[in-house]
Amino acid sequence: MSEAVTFSSSQLAALHARLKALRPAEDPCAKTPVSVKTIPELGVIFFSGLSAGKNPYELLLEVAKFVDENGFNAIWTPERHFTEVGGAYPNPSVLAAALATITRNVRLRAGSINLPLHDPMRVAEEWAVVDNLSGGRVDLALAPGWHVRDFVLKPENFVARSDVLNAYRRELASLWEGGESSRMDANGAMQSIVTYPRPVQRQLPLWLTTSQKEDAWRFAGENGLNVLTALINFGPRDLEKRIRIYREARSAAGLDPAKGVVSLMLHTYLDHTDDAAIETVRAPLSEYLKSFVGQHQTANTEKDAKVNAISAVGTDNDDFVDMVFSRYINTSSLIGSPERAATVLKSFKLMGVDEVACLLDFGVNRDDTLNSLRLLSSLIREQQ
């Protein structure tokens, strides 16, 4: 056998130094690995104003300040007309202008503009103001409108509202980028119009608001639009199917399928236990659902699919509301403990949901709503 080789302490130190010198130098430009987020981005959305109390905008302003400082990505304000529930929100651009002055980080989003009720020129003007006030934080979700009563503002657009939406959308996008539109003036002469002020963002980020119509998801994908959706008359499995249709449509149109944003609205309330959360929301959410049922029952005509869906359940609205309440709790909400909310969010992330818009104003009082947001923000911190 060969003799064992031994080294003195000085020789070992010299060998260690030589080996260290042979290691590849560390790249000073190498990026620290970024952890993969397991839940969607989180924002907040307002819809009913039921939790606002005497001042319908107190909760909106308080929530805006909180989410701006705690990692939420967006705050959505709706357009709703001529109804006590939701009637505090007739113009999202006015609300967003106010929010622009008290926030610095969150995106300010319309969720949604019922575009066939408006001249695209006025929409471009109003939201360019907000874009300037906010330093370029404006995003818009567009919808065709759904309640016949709303169209007292533009009754001629009701029947063809989906086609009108698409035509107005193209004009709005062009005006935002500095394009001209033609209009006839009071003397019968055609005028070429460019809108002002010019916005900060060169292109206007757009969402299409839709729920169960597969053709609408396909259209959004083909036309490079993001999607704002809610689990109305369909469940998570149906949502997963529609997201797949959307991604495939983007790919077929030559667009990166992964870059389209799917935003899901979910009624949200967190407490320390599931039971505590459910009991807190039971009464206010049930009242909210009753008002929602009432609006759909008077929405359009007897041929309306949503009205038929409600009528098929029976004439007892309380039974229907109990059924819908259970469905919301079990499959279509972020109502429960933070642990349950994290599990729900992870499942939607795996389905392809990019962000969740947490609906807050369905009747829970101010203090409980803010405490719920604090628990929700802990989920954001865990992803950072």
pLDDT in tens, 237-254: 999 999 999 999 999 999
Do the domain assignments include residue 285?
A: no
Do the domain assignments include residue 304?
A: no
- Residues 199-218 have pLDDT tens digits of 999 999 999 999 989 999 99
| 228 backbone dihedrals φ, ψ, rounded to 5° | -110, 125
Q: How high does pLDDT run on average in the chain?
A: 88
Give residue for tokens 């790919």.
Answer: 251
3-class secondary-structure state, position 260: coil
Do the domain assignments include residue 290?
A: no
- Residues 288-330 have pLDDT tens digits of 888 766 555 555 544 454 444 444 444 456 777 888 888 889 8
Give residue for tokens 């101010």.
Answer: 366
Measured distance CA(63)–CA(248) in Å, rounded: 36
- Residues 116-139 have pLDDT tens digits of 999 999 999 999 999 999 999 999
Which alpha helices (DSSP H) does 75-203 contain, by range?
92-100, 120-134, 161-176
pTM score: 0.85
Domain ranges, residue 41: 37-277+336-382
Total number of domains in the chain:
1
Do the domain assignments include residue 346?
A: yes
Half-sphere exposure of 266 (CA within 13 A, CB side): 31
Cα→Cα distances 117→112, 165, 243, Å? 12, 9, 28
Answer whether 292's CB lies under 8 Å from 281's CB. no
Do the domain assignments include residue 89?
A: yes
Buried b (16+ CB within 10 A) or exposed e, 273-288: ebeebbebbeebbbbb
pLDDT at 373 over 90: yes
- Residues 58-103 have pLDDT tens digits of 999 999 999 999 999 999 999 999 988 889 999 999 999 999 999 9
Do the domain assignments include residue 96?
A: yes
Which residue(s) pair with 42 in the sheet? 356
User: Which CATH number do you get for residue 140?
Assistant: 3.20.20.30
pLDDT of residue 8: 53
Do the domain assignments include residue 26?
A: no
Measured distance CA(312)–CA(54) in Å, rounded: 37
Query: What tokens appear for 139 in the block?
Result: 């995003």
Do the domain assignments include residue 284?
A: no
Measured distance CA(290)–CA(299) in Å, rounded: 14
